[in-house]
Structure 1
Amino acid sequence: MKDSKLTVTAFDWVPAFAQGHVRDLRVRWALEEAGFPYQVEVMTQGAQKHPSHLRRQPFGQIPTLEIDGRTLFESGAILWRIAETSDTLLPQDPAACDRVLAWVFAALNTLEPPVGMLAMLDLFIKDKEAAARIRPEIASAARDMLDKLAAVLGPEPHIAGGFSVADIVLTTVLRDVPDDLIAGYPTLRAYVDRHTARPAFRAALEGQMKPFLENAARYEAAG
């Protein structure tokens, strides 16, 4: 993949609450860590619904990764493909690689759903009274998962041995945990801080934020 033509799709602007959290960040971060050069196709809001994009991402979402003309979608699948072809994101030992794979799926399938539900309640549900009634139950489910994660992680710097693609996925999930929950987990906050201080993460974040800043005035005027 290092010698392939790689193109990531990304939005030209999103509302402030989503800036720095759109999932192309995961893909950019993995590519930065792997040292793979890539281009970014910046899409205007609404373009994700066009037939041309739906042919490469049937749900009209961001990101996709084009690899020499063929397209891959779903951030977890994209990250795993990058990791498989990199020298830095997967261990060579098969048992260690299996552990990384398990934690990638745990982050996406076990931790991210309750975290995403909290984001939905806090940011998107218009009936705030209904959201307030439901939120404690969802927050309890999220805390249960965070309790277990904190117990497994302990004082370790990474989730599966050395730094790997699992840390990229898990860090991006934990960054979306609401402040009132993550405040109770100092080791998880330290884990996030440690990984978001990496130069590759900072480069990925800067790349995502650049078009948001450039296009903010246009979108805000239209709104």
Structure 2
Amino acid sequence: MPVDANAEIEITGFAWVPDFARGFVRDLRPRWACEEAGIGYRERLINFETAKGEAYRREQPFGQVPAYRDNEVQMFESGAMVLRIAERSETLMPRDAAGRARILTWVTAALNSVEPFVFDLVAIDTFNKEAEWAKLRRPEVIESLRGRLGSLANWLGGKDYLEGDFSAADIIMATVLREVSDEALMAEFPTLTAYRERCVSRPAFQRAMDAQLSSLAAEPAMA
């Protein structure tokens, strides 16, 4: 679905981010969910100063993006937004209680059992690469992440997606795996690299990515 200025769902994103963050800002997740579900959404673009402001922090307490609203609710946290959108789509979440519970479990696992280990490595490789403490800590971080990726690969096995059919859980898990900053580490797990590629090759992902990138200005807006 294209971005629709009249859509019920509003997703907040930044109007500009540095080059390393383009394509990785987390408004990508609800954008992707809307595209998979065939639900239109409108975007509200803000700058960093707006994000720090009191008014926006009433929507997003941590001054991040995305924030979300529809005709019934306001939300923050991208995983929660994806689940909210998934409630409207059997493409993203089964209707039976057992199926819903599995998707909820895997979304939580992606955000709590995998992403913190990924971000430990990102914090070193992207923000602290030359720091002595980071060089000393990196082998331990790699080993911890290797364990998590190995467990995930063992679960996935020969399945295309986490719970058989593509779901909201795969949106979250695939975006987490995209953040792994060491491709040599990912290459140790061909099952996961194939899974990640399978997810991001979906047309809905590309539409969401194109929408995010097209919304980003070349230069930061003045406050």
TM-score by length of 1: 0.91
Q: Report Cα offsets for 1:107-153 as digits up to 9, x if no partner.
A: 00000001011111112237611111111111111100000100110
- Counterpart of 1:18 (choices 15, 21, 26) is 21
**Cα RMSD after superposing both structures:** 1.8
Tell me which residue corresponds to 2:126: 123
Q: Does 1:109 align with 2:124?
A: no
- Shift in Å, 1:66: 1.1
Q: Structure 1 CA distance, aligned partners of 2:44 and 2:203?
A: 22
Give the percent of matched residue pairs that are identical in Structure 1 and Structure 2. 44
- Shift in Å, 1:69: 7.0
Choose 88-97 or 104-113, whichever is displaced more.
88-97
Gaps of 5+ in 2: 1-5
Q: Report Cα offsets for 1:15-41 as digits up to 9, x if no partner.
A: 111111110000100011111111000
The aligned amino acid for 2:137 is I
Aligned partners of 1:9 and 1:42 also within 8 Å: yes
Aligned partners of 1:9 and 1:41 also within 8 Å: yes
Q: Report Cα offsets for 1:171-215 as digits up to 9, x if no partner.
A: 000000121321211111111111111111000000111122xx2
1:1-223 equivalences under 5 Å are 5-68=8-71, 70-125=73-128, 128-178=131-181, 179-212=183-216, 215-216=217-218, 218-219=219-220
Gaps of 5+ in 1: none
Give SS of 2:213's match: helix
The aligned amino acid for 1:129 is E
Give SS of 1:113's match: helix
Whose helix proportion is higher, 1 or 2? 1
Q: Structure 1 CA distance, aligned partners of 2:96 and 2:126?
A: 42
- Shift in Å, 1:4: 6.7
Give SS of 1:85's match: coil
Q: Structure 1 CA distance, aligned partners of 2:60 and 2:15?
A: 17
Q: Structure 1 CA distance, aligned partners of 2:88 and 2:22?
A: 29
Q: Structure 2 CA distance, aligned partners of 1:45 and 1:200?
A: 28
Equivalenced residue count is: 216
Aligned partners of 2:37 and 2:89 also within 8 Å: yes
Tell me which residue corresponds to 2:3: none
The aligned amino acid for 1:43 is I
TM-score by length of 2: 0.91
- In structure 2, relative to structure 1, the CA distance for the partners of 1:71 and 1:113 (3 Å cut) is same
Q: Structure 2 CA distance, aligned partners of 1:183 and 1:126?
A: 21
Give SS of 1:117's match: helix
